[in-house]
């Protein structure tokens, strides 16, 4: 077995899938689930809401009575700052431009990572030749690449696309290779017995078997894209959430900094949920994981 | 199917490991042949060679008059771990259709064949389910249907029902025997369960524990089917085989537990 580090066991998605095998009927809660214990279904949601409300309350109290409200503005103050920023469309414009950068980099990085990862998973010599290089390059986080990206591409859009691409590519690549590699030998042999040729086994068996790994890699890469777009925009941009952070910091506008930070939290969460929703919709049949075994 | 002087040597470790040492068997067409032996005796290795997954190190395997060099649809392997052998992203029906799709069988013919074998294993009501929605026994029935759909001559079965509970296993024996009698396929059935071998096989090839395993004895069972496990003649045979296997079992048990002592 080659030294492949799959992110699969760490992923929340994998755990999610472990507990819930893809089951079309499960998507529609039957009467057996709703009758009698309807309250239990909403318990996680209620607890999540309670958790957030309590955290906000504690934050409000602490920054009103203990901490300097200039350094840690209380949540109500942050919301009061956010409303005009939302109304004027200022935040929306920054969110849009940051999202565009993330999406362009993420999609191009994922596609390249998948194509190359599939080849590395299949062609042994290619893996052996490229793996040492990947082993070294993957330590260069997107943040470490900002200075050179600015020189190569300027502070325009291209440098941000490149940085997000850089971060996404390696994660998706490693996971795709692992997924192809781990397509059960039993399944390949079964296909061989049924008369599939090598190309058919590759396309019709190994790649579908790798889908859960690829998706997990993409989900982790999406999170990492959100981590790297901010420093990129702080250091080299004139728009986006990161730029909003940087600008507010220079003007000592802590309220606005907190608005930007909250925006990042909400945006990241929303995009992850959207990603999961899309995967559930489009790729359900491929997300089998360990549920079968 | 003819195996002559078959050897298998693994040379990956520091010392070469001789897994199979001179296996000779002739399996005739339509026969139900069981390979019985303690775990680790090379039964699965032998089956993999028969299937064409692994090359033999010496000797020959011929099927009909053709030497076996690679896997193909005339010898279909049936795995114990249905979870990884099936295609979990395909429905029951699509799993059965797989072997026909790769050969580009025309659609109409394809649908007829799929329907026929789904019905044979009584899965036609579950055709749109995914393997993860099936019970263990249903998954194994699906494997049978998928294998039969490519119309093989030989079914190679590697402890196929080992992971099922006792009741389901009994039912699967009946299903398999009915299909075998109905289709006249040759079956090579690997097991370490003496009772299973006696209930199913025309002949039982006894394998010695590894390394250097070989077929030590071939026992013929000419009792009519369906066989009754309480048949005194079969019971006698059971004890006879148990006594034959005992020295090997002691040996393999001992080897297994040595590091723990």
What CATH number is attached to the domain comprising A232?
Answer: 1.10.3720.10
- pLDDT computed for residue A240 by the predictor: 92
Within a domain: A6: no
Asked whether residue A219 falls in the same domain as residue A262, the answer is yes
Within a domain: A144: yes
Q: Which residue has the higher pLDDT, A293 or A89?
A: A89
Within a domain: A240: yes
- pLDDT computed for residue B252 by the predictor: 56
**Closest in A186, A191, A288 to B88, CB measured:** A288
- pLDDT computed for residue A37 by the predictor: 55
Asked whether residue A118 falls in the same domain as residue A190, the answer is yes
Q: Rounded mean pLDDT of A254-272?
A: 92
Asked whether residue A60 falls in the same domain as residue A85, the answer is no
Within a domain: A96: yes
Please write the tens of the pLDDT for every residue from B125-159: 999 999 988 988 899 899 999 999 998 889 999 98
Tell me the helix, strand and coil percentages in chain B, rounded to 5: 45, 25, 35
Asked whether residue A102 falls in the same domain as residue A177, the answer is yes
Asked whether residue A60 falls in the same domain as residue A149, the answer is no
Q: How far apart are the C-alpha atoms of B31 and B22, rounded to whole Å?
A: 22
Q: Which residues in chain A have Cβ-Cβ distances shorter than 8 Å to B76?
A: 193-194
Q: Rounded mean pLDDT of A68-92?
A: 90
Supply the mean pLDDT for chain A.
83
Q: Is A35 on the interface with B (CB under 8 A)?
A: no
- pLDDT computed for residue B60 by the predictor: 79
Residue among B82, B161, B151 at smallest CA distance from B120: B151
> Which stretches in chain B have pLDDT values below 70?
13, 210, 248-261
Q: How far apart are the C-alpha atoms of A64 and A74, rounded to whole Å?
A: 7
The answer to whether A189 contacts B133, with C-beta atoms less than 8 Å apart, is no
Q: How far apart are the C-alpha atoms of B213 and B23, rounded to whole Å?
A: 8
- pLDDT computed for residue A165 by the predictor: 95
Instruction: Domains for chain B: give ranges and CATH numbers.
Output: 2-74+152-260 (3.40.50.300)
Find the residue in A nearest to B50 (Cα).
A193
Asked whether residue A91 falls in the same domain as residue A157, the answer is yes
Tell me the residue range of the domain where A167 lies: 81-292
Within a domain: A267: yes
Are the C-beta atoms of residues B27 and B6 closer than 8 Å to each other?
A: no
Within a domain: A14: no
Asked whether residue A135 falls in the same domain as residue A54, the answer is no
Q: How far apart are the C-alpha atoms of B10 and B210, rounded to whole Å?
A: 12
Q: How far apart are the C-alpha atoms of B174 and B156, rounded to whole Å?
A: 17
Q: Which residue has the higher pLDDT, A7 or A193?
A: A193
Please write the tens of the pLDDT for every residue from A157-173: 999 999 999 999 999 99
Residue among B182, B173, B239 at smallest CA distance from B201: B173
The pTM of this model reads: 0.78
- pLDDT computed for residue B259 by the predictor: 43
Please write the tens of the pLDDT for every residue from A102-156: 999 999 999 999 999 999 988 888 888 988 888 888 889 999 999 999 999 988 8
The answer to whether B87 contacts A193, with C-beta atoms less than 8 Å apart, is no
Residue among A272, A224, A22 at smallest CA distance from B90: A22
Please write the tens of the pLDDT for every residue from A2-49: 433 333 333 333 333 333 344 433 333 334 444 445 567 788 889 999
The answer to whether B71 contacts A193, with C-beta atoms less than 8 Å apart, is yes
Asked whether residue A47 falls in the same domain as residue A163, the answer is no
Within a domain: A207: yes
- Residues in CB range of A56: below 8 A, 6 or more apart: A75
Residue among B183, B147, B186 at smallest CA distance from B33: B186
Find out whether the peptide bond into B257 is cis, omega within 30 degrees of 0: no
Asked whether residue A115 falls in the same domain as residue A52, the answer is no
Within a domain: A20: no
ipTM of the complex, rounded to two decimals: 0.85
- The number of residues in chain B equals 261
Q: Quick check: A94 pLDDT over 90?
A: yes
Asked whether residue A45 falls in the same domain as residue A168, the answer is no
Asked whether residue A103 falls in the same domain as residue A45, the answer is no
Handedness of CA B89, B91, B92, B94 (dihedral sign): negative
Asked whether residue A45 falls in the same domain as residue A136, the answer is no
The answer to whether B88 contacts A197, with C-beta atoms less than 8 Å apart, is no
Q: What is the dihedral of CA A52, A53, A55, A58, to 10 degrees?
A: 170
Q: Which DSSP string corresponds to B40-80?
A: TSSHHHHHHHHHTSS--SEEEEEETTEE--S--TTEEEE-S
- pLDDT computed for residue A21 by the predictor: 40
Chain B residues within 8 Å of chain A (Cβ atoms): 51, 53, 71-73, 75-77, 79, 81, 83-90, 98-99, 102-103, 130-133, 146-147, 150, 152
Given the structure tokens 């028969």, which residue do they identify?
A: B50
């Amino acid at each position: 077995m080659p030294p492949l580090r799959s992110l699969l066991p760490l992923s929340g998605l994998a755990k999610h899938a472990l507990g819930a095998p893809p089951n079309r009927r499960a998507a529609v809660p039957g009467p057996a689930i709703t009758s009698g214990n309807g309250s239990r279904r909403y318990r996680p949601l209620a607890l999540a809401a309670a958790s957030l409300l309590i955290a906000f309350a504690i934050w409000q109290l602490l920054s009103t009575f203990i901490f300097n409200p200039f350094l840690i503005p209380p949540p109500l103050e942050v919301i009061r700052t956010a409303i005009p920023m939302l109304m004027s469309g200022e935040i929306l414009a920054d969110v849009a431009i940051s999202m565009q950068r993330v999406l362009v980099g993420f999609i191009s990085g994922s596609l390249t990572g998948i194509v190359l990862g599939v080849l590395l998973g299949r062609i042994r010599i290619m893996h052996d030749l490229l793996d040492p290089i990947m082993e070294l390059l993957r330590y260069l986080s997107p943040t470490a690449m900002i200075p050179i990206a600015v020189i190569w591409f300027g502070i325009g859009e291209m440098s941000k696309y490149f940085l997000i691409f850089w971060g996404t590519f390696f994660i998706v690549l490693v996971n795709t290779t692992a997924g192809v590699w781990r397509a059960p030998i039993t399944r390949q042999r079964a296909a061989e017995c049924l008369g599939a040729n090598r190309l058919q086994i590759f396309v019709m068996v190994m790649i579908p078997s790798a889908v859960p790994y690829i998706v997990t890699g993409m989900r982790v890469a999406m999170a990492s894209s959100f981590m790297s777009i901010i420093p990129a925009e702080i250091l080299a941009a004139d728009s986006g959430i990161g730029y909003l952070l940087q600008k507010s910091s220079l003007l000592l506008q802590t309220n606005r900094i907190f608005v930007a930070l909250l925006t990042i939290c909400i945006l990241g969460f929303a995009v992850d949920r959207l990603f999961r929703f899309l995967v559930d919709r489009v790729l359900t049949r491929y997300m089998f994981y360990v549920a079968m075994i | 199917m003819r195996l002559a002087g078959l050897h298998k040597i693994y040379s990956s470790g520091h010392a070469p490991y001789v897994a199979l040492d001179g296996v000779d068997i002739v399996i005739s067409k339509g026969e139900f042949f069981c390979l019985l032996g303690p775990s680790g005796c090379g039964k699965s290795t032998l089956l993999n060679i028969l299937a064409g997954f692994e090359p033999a190190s010496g000797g020959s395997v011929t099927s009909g008059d053709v030497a076996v060099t690679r896997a193909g649809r005339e010898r279909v392997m049936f795995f114990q771990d249905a979870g990884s052998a099936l295609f979990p992203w395909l429905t029951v029906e699509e799993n059965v259709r797989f072997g026909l799709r790769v050969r580009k069988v025309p659609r109409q013919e394809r649908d007829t064949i799929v329907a026929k074998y789904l019905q044979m294993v009584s899965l036609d009501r579950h055709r749109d389910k995914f393997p993860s929605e099936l019970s263990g026994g249903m998954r194994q029935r699906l494997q049978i249907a998928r294998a039969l759909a490519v119309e093989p001559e030989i079914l190679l079965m590697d402890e196929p029902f080992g992971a099922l509970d006792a009741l389901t296993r009994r039912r699967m024996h009946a299903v398999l025997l009915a299909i075998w009698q109905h289709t006249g396929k040759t079956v090579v059935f690997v097991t370490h369960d003496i009772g299973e071998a006696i209930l199913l096989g025309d002949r039982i090839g006894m394998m010695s524990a590894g390394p250097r395993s070989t077929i030590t004895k071939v026992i013929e069972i000419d009792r009519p089917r369906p066989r009754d496990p309480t048949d005194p003649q079969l019971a006698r045979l059971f004890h006879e085989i148990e006594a034959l296997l005992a020295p090997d079992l002691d040996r393999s048990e001992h080897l297994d537990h040595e590091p723990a002592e």
